[in-house]
Every structure is written in C-alpha cells, then in structure tokens.
Structure 1
Amino acid sequence: MTRRLIFSITAMMALLWLLAVGLGLVVMEEEYAEMFDGTLQDTAERLVPLVVDDLEHRGMLGGPLGALGDNRPSAAPQQLQTGNSSGDREYLIYQVRDAAGRVLIRSHDAPEPAFETPLKPGFWKNATYQFYTATDDKAQVFIQVADAFENREEALREGAIALFLPLALLIPVSGMAIWLVVRRAVQPVGELRRQIETKDGGNMEPIDAAILPRELQPIATSVNLLMTRLRTALDAEREFTSNSAHELRTPIAGALAQTQMLISELKEPANRHRAGQIESSLSSLSHLAEKLLQLSRAEAGIGIAEKPVDLTLVLDMVLTDFRRGMNDPQRLILHRAKGAKLSGPFSEDAFAIVLRNLIENALVHGKPGTPVDVFLDDGGPVRIVNDAAVMTAAELAAIRKRFSRGKTEAAGSGLGLSIVERLLGQMGGKLILFSRASGRTGGFEARVELPGIKQT
C-alpha cells in the first residue's frame, strides 16, 4: 500500500508539473511572438525618419538638397556599416527600398536581392522570416525589417530547457520527500498490522489503542472486542476439553479394569468375545480422552519456554517409555550421530507430546514387525521413519486435518498430526511429511524442523 501510494502521488505530481510546464511553454511562445513582433515593428518605425533624413541629405530623395531624378541610386545598394566587428550574426536585418522596389540601403547581414515582401505597410512572413514594412508619409521609401523564426525557436528552446532542467532534480527530491512523509504517516497502520499479526491462540492480549491515531482507534477497539469474545470462547472450549478428558480418564480406566477382570473370569467363548469388544471400545475411548487432553494443552500455548532446554533428554525419555510398553522393544531404533545434541527455548512437555504422537503413529500405521527408525543427526532435524505404503499428495494433505485418518485399519483418533502441527506452530517450527522416506524407495517419514535449534 505504501509503495502504491508513494508511486501514485509522485507520478501524479510529476504529470501535473509537466502539464504546467507544457502550458507555460504555450503561453511563453505566444508572449515571445508578441514581444518579437513588437520589437520588429518598433525597429522599423524608428528607422523611417532616420533613413529619410539620411537619404535627403545625400540628395537621393526630392528635397532641399537635390532631386531623385538627378541622383539615381547606383546599381549596387549601399551596405550600412553597423559596427558588427565581433562577427556575430544580426538578429534583425533590414532593407531600404524605393517605390520601384529597388534596394537603396541594406544592413550588414541582409541579402543584396530585394526581399520578396510586398511594398505594403504591415506584417508579412514566409517560411524563414517574419517581416514588418514601414514607410514615410510620402511613401517614397519603404523600410523592411526581418526577424528569422530561428531566433524565436532558439529563445523558446532555451526557455523550455530552463523550465525542464529543474524538474530533473525536483521530481526525485519530491519523490524522496513524499516517501518520508508517507512512511511517517502510515507508520501507525504498519504498527497496528504487526500487532494484529502477533495475535493467535497463544497471544490474545488487547491492542493498546491509546498510542494509535484517532482514525485507527475504532479498528483497534473492534479487534480488541473480537479477541475478547474469541478468548472467552477458546477458554471455554479448552476448559471443557480438559475437564472432560480429566473426568473421563478415571471412570474409563475403572471400567477397563473391570472388563479385563470379567474377561479373565468368563469361560464361554461367545461371552469372552463380547467382553473383548467392550475392552477394545474402552481402550479406544481412553486413547481419545488422552488425545483430547493433549489437544487442550496444545491449544493453551505451551510450546515456548523462557530458557533453552536439552531436548535430547526428552527424546531419550520418550523412547525409553515406549520400549517399556512394547512387546518387541527392538523395533524402535534410535540413530544418533556421535555427540549430536538438541537444545532450544522450547517446552519439554510440548516436545515430548510431539515425539509421542509421531512415534505412536509410526508404530501403529507401519507394517507389523518392521522397525521404526528415529534419526538425530548432527546439524539436522529429527526424522521418524517407518515402512508404510506409498501415499499420494492428496492423501498426505488429508491426514493433516483434524479427525481425519488415512486408508488404514489401525485404531486411532485422527488428532495426532493436528496436535503436532499446533505445538510446532507455537514453537515456530514445522512438520514435513514424505511418503517416500529419504534414501528409500518407499516408507513414510515425518520430519520435525525447529528454528534456532542448536545441534552439535
């Protein structure tokens, strides 16, 4: 928005300046024409009495000193010495002609042949010159002064350069000034945007509207009201989920224990089968309650810790816990590079929940009896790999959704990856899924990447 605003204002300002200069040149051209024409006319009319007086004294006109019939002009017109010793060209040239059209006197740069201008007082022009013809009262001589259009074009060109050259500096300087003013003006908008961007399930603190301009305060107030309502709804949801999970764990565990005792006492296969189905349902319900409890903790924003912790200890603890409950502990294999360590400002509980869900998924959904490999490399992410069927990109995207499960017969709630992504989002990390594991033609790989992790 800032760039568009700066560009639009600068472009509009530059366009208006160019338009103003263009209109100024049009007016300047008209004024130059009037000024040059006025100079041309004044020059011709001032020359008339001087030329007539000079010709009478020479006896080239009828008067006290002679008669025109007795003193005919020579074939070559007299060239007036104007004192142009510098060699510069004359801006105004003129010819003095008699009633017959013969050239009596001409200026230094005027041509010897007579101008093609008619012997008629007033303005006249051709492709090269603007002429003005003046005559005396008796119309015995005609003074014709010429001004080349080249002179007017040169003056207009120099005036245009004088107007356009400052724009070459003024436009970038104005653009910089506009940039500074606009950036300063929209800075509160950027600050409001940054504050809104930080708001999520883990940060629902109200925005300080008092530091914002009056125009933005209603927006901040509306956002605060929305966050208040959202925080209330989220707190109620988390409290219900947590309380429900806690309240369900004890009766479910009791019912499961009673069912297992009942199975051990039943003798008939049909009764034992029905009791086994009850046990399976209660186990699934217990697993779901555990996932809901993890989800409520994830929604509470437990991902970040104030101080760095050693996450390798958490990894070792989770693997040890899994192996104790497995019939085949050798199935879970840790590949740890020599001296590799994992530490960062993350919650140990959150990291343990992430590992438990990913390792549990790998054990449950991998091919039975195949190993599950956990890789902790020096300078790399944590990778959990199992042997599973290849999945399409659409299937990979589907299993990320809450309560969504892939094509599997294994038990599960469909919440594990949602919990993992929620916690990693709070940590600033991400979960990357590969249907073909690194270095393999098949298998499934879950890669956990955390920012600023220290691995040595």
Structure 2
Amino acid sequence: MLISSLRRRLFTGLTIFIVGMALAAGYLAYRWAFDEAMELQDAILLQVGSLAARNHLSTTLPSEGNIDGEAQVVIEEIKPGAAAAPRGNPVSQLPSDLPDGFQTVTRGGTQWRILVRTRSDGSRVAVGQPTANRDEVAQDSALRTIVPLGILVPCLMVLIAVVVDRSLRPLSRLARHLDAKQSDHLEKLLTEGIPTELLPFVASINRLLERIAMMFDKQRRFVADAAHELRTPITALVVQAENLEQADLSKDGRDRLNSLKTGIRRTGHLLEQLLALARYDNDVSGGNPQGEFDRVLKEVVADLLPAAQDRSIDLGFARIEPVSVRVEPVALTVLARNLLDNALRHTSSDGRVDVSLFAENEFVVFTVEDTGSGIPDADLDRIFEPFFRGSHSRGEGTGLGLSIVRRIVEQCYGSIRLQNKPTAEGSGLRATVCFPRK
C-alpha cells in the first residue's frame, strides 16, 4: 500500500540519517573525551614532576584512603651511566640519555608514559604511569561521554516513529474515506483538518470526482433519453403485433408472430428497467414521506401471485409486520417487485418463495427466500453490476433488476445482502434488505 510504503520510506531514511550522524558524533565525542583524559593525566604528571624536581622525591607515592591503583604515580631518580632496568621495577635504572619531557618507553614488556625533569644541580628525576592504566581511565571517561548519546538515539527513533505516524494519519484517513465511498456517491472531499501539503492533492481528487460526476450525469441522461424515445416505436410495434393477431395466419406465421411479441415484450421490459435505473441514480430519499412498506409489499405479492400459481410456486408471507420507512412508495414497489420477480424466475415448479417484513432494533428488515439453485460463488461479486445476468440466468431478465434494487437501497442509506442458504436448509437464495426506521 502507498501509505505504508511512504511511512516506511520516511522512517527508514530518517533512521539511516540519525544513526549515521549518531555514529559520527559518537566517534568524535569518544576521541575528544579520550584525548581530554590523556591531557588531564599528562597534566597530573607535570604537577607531580614539578614537586619531585623541587623536593627531591624519589619513591612510589603512597596509596592512602581509596586511591585507585590505576592512578598510582611512580617517581625514580635517573642515575648517570644507567643503561638498562633490572627485573623488578621497570622504571628503575632508566637510561641516562633520555631527553627531558614526555615520552613513552617500554620496560619489562610494559609501556610507560614518563616525564623526565632535570634539576638545577644536574640531577634528573622521572615520573611515570603504565600506559595500560592511563588508556583504561581514558576509555572509561570517553565511554561515559557517549552513553547518553546511545540512550538518546533509540528514544529519538521511537519519537520519530510516532511523529511520522501522526503526520501521515490525515493521508490514511483520506484513503479510508475514498475506499468507503460508494461508486455512485461522488461528493467532494472535505478540506477541513487536511494538512496544507495535502490540499493540492485533495483539490486534484475533487476535480477528478467532478469530471466523473459530469460523465455519469451525461450517461444517465443519455440512457433516460434513449429509453424514453424508444418507448414510442415499441408501443407502435405492440399495437401492430396485436393487429396481426386478428389476421388469418398460418401455423408458421402464428409461431413467428409469437416470437415477435416475445421480443417486443422483452425490449419493452428492458426500456422500463433502463428508465427506472436512470431515475434511481438520483436521490430518492430526500424529503420523502414515510411509506407503508407492508401495504406496498402486499400489493406486489398479490400482483405476482397468479404468475406464481401458474408455475405451482408457493409464494407467501413467512412474517409480516406493519412498518414504515422514509422511501417513496413507487421506489418500494420497484424494489419489492424486482426481488420477488428475480426469486420467482429462478425457482423451479413446485418450489417455494417466502417473504418476511419486520422491525428489528433500529432497522426495518425485508427478506426474500427461494428454493432455487442460488448464485454461483464466482458470480456473487458481480451480481449487482448492470446487465450482468450470471452464468445460470433464466427467463427474460435484463440484468438490471438487482442493480436498480441496490441503487434504491443505497440512496436510502440502507444495505442489501445476497447469500446462498446453508446446505442444511436446502438450496436457494436469501436476499436481505435493511432500511433505517427513521
């Protein structure tokens, strides 16, 4: 997903930058603290060397109290003519030719940092410390310097993750809002609470939605105008077909006339469905009075009952309650008739179609159950598409009935669900429509 990818890129980029800067800063801080510790220890040697030169000190300074052994300083006289140190104290018997000042010497396999000073009487003294001890002290001091930095970096990464997540939440909300939009609801996106950086993006989306809405509107007008204009010639064909029935026709001519009437009837039904589809693409819920759904449903069932009896289909109510919804009666009639017609068309002879209407909590529930073959799982995702009749279509359906039902339900802020009945209940389809009661 784009959002998570952008979040990951920002976090990864900032992590690399901050970790890199932290490593560079840590290295510099470590070197600075290490050098400072070395300079401090050299300063101590300078002070001790000055005292030893003035007071003729010549011994290892006593360790009193809790003085760390690593801080011990050794003071030795340099005797003229000395060349090598015997086993024992490696600073003893230092070569007499050592120059004054700081230097590093190796005695007995151990490196020493020593300071050589010459007194006014020509005698010489050396003060020193093992470099291993000095390095350990300097390293401890340097590590203590970068420890806060090591603690700060993880905390900073957590803070960055929180900031990045919060900064991208408006974009995530925008994506969820777009995903939740129904295909026929093309209202512009609100710009309130949108970060300034996203406003051009939202404005572009709004312009795109406006162009799509105009295209849909032109398509609806074209379909409605075309269907309306075709009603007149279709009506004329119906009249001519009825006139031909009065003529003396042969059996072959009569069969051809019946085929013609079937085609005309199917074309007329398609035009009526197209007009209904164009009409219910517009809002049918705004300002509508409460419609008596139970009365409308009884009338539709009564109209379809003769056709159901002709095919020996048991059409009736499993449950019906007096309920009203804020939908115009014509829309309720179209919705109920299309669902019942679809159920009857896909139910075999001697089958059953049960209708229920009742109130449940804050909703009005309308269900139609049949004993037909149901809908193949592969067709469930497309069953509401206009002109899609499915792989097991029957009769003279146009593929627009369920699409019209969905338009009416969505415009009235309801919901519709089609599902095959569980195997334990036998084959068939259950259509469930829910409307808010107010």
- Give the TM-score of the pair, scaled to structure 2: 0.74
Query: Residues 19-40 of structure 1, C-alpha deviation per residue, up to 9 Å, x if partnerless?
Result: 2442233322542354145325
Query: Residues 95-138 of structure 1, C-alpha deviation per residue, up to 9 Å, x if partnerless?
Result: 324536999xxxxxxxx941367714422368887421424367
Partner of 1:32: 36
Alpha carbons 2:285, 2:327 under 8 Å: kept: yes
Question: How far is 1:242 from its partner?
Answer: 1.9
Query: Residues 44-93 of structure 1, C-alpha deviation per residue, up to 9 Å, x if partnerless?
Result: 531442343x67xxxxxxxxxxxxxxxxxxxxxx66557x3x33336232
Partner of 1:155: 141
Q: Is 1:114 matched with 2:80?
A: no
Query: Residues 244-300 of structure 1, C-alpha deviation per residue, up to 9 Å, x if partnerless?
Result: 333444553454355335425546534433322222222111111111112112323
Q: Give the alignment partner of residue 419 of structure 1, picking from 393, 404, 409.
A: 404
1:10-25 aligned within 5 A: 11-12=15-16, 14-25=18-29
**Counterpart residue type for residue 54 of structure 2:** L
Q: Is 1:364 matched with 2:364?
A: no
SS at match of 1:282: helix
Mean Cα displacement is larger for which, 168-177 or 142-151?
168-177
**Counterpart residue type for residue 145 of structure 2:** G
Q: Give the alignment partner of residue 66 of structure 2, picking from 75, 82, 87.
A: 87
Q: Is 1:331 matched with 2:314?
A: yes
Give distance in 1, aligned partners of 2:423 and 2:288: 34
Mean Cα displacement is larger for which, 374-383 or 205-214?
205-214
Partner of 1:96: 76
Select the structure of larger CA radius of gyration: 1
Give distance in 1, aligned partners of 2:333 and 2:179: 28
Mean Cα displacement is larger for which, 359-368 or 300-309?
300-309
- Size of the alignment, in residue pairs? 414
Query: Residues 388-433 of structure 1, C-alpha deviation per residue, up to 9 Å, x if partnerless?
Result: 2365423555655432333355222122233333444445555444
Unaligned runs of 5+ residues in structure 2 are none
Question: How far is 1:367 from its partner?
Answer: 0.7
Alpha carbons 1:242, 1:292 under 8 Å: kept: yes
Partner of 2:303: 321
Partner of 1:273: 255
Partner of 1:61: none
Question: How far is 1:153 from its partner?
Answer: 2.6
Partner of 1:288: 270
Give distance in 2, aligned partners of 1:246 and 1:10: 62
Identity %: 21
Give distance in 2, aligned partners of 1:256 and 1:303: 35
Partner of 1:106: none
SS at match of 1:372: strand
Give distance in 1, aligned partners of 2:299 and 2:14: 63
Distance 1:10 1:242, change over 3 A: same
Q: Is 1:45 matched with 2:49?
A: yes
Give distance in 2, aligned partners of 1:360 and 1:178: 54
Partner of 1:375: 356
1:40-189 aligned within 5 A: 41-43=45-47, 45-52=49-56, 80-81=61-62, 84=64, 86-89=65-68, 91-99=71-79, 113-115=88-90, 119-120=94-95, 121=98, 122-124=103-105, 130-136=112-118, 140-146=123-129, 148=133, 149-167=135-153, 171-173=157-159, 176=162, 182=167, 187=170
Query: Residues 138-195 of structure 1, C-alpha deviation per residue, up to 9 Å, x if partnerless?
Result: 7755423215233223212322234434556555456555666x35xx84x5687677
- Give the TM-score of the pair, scaled to structure 1: 0.71
Distance 1:408 1:81, change over 3 A: closer
Alpha carbons 2:319, 2:357 under 8 Å: kept: yes
Give distance in 2, aligned partners of 1:24 and 1:312: 83
SS at match of 1:450: strand
Q: Is 1:450 matched with 2:434?
A: yes
Give distance in 1, aligned partners of 2:110 and 2:365: 84
Mean Cα displacement is larger for which, 320-329 or 411-420?
320-329
Give distance in 2, aligned partners of 1:202 and 1:288: 22
Unaligned runs of 5+ residues in structure 1 are 56-77, 104-111
Q: Give the alignment partner of residue 279 of structure 2, picking from 292, 297, 302.
A: 297
**Counterpart residue type for residue 267 of structure 2:** L
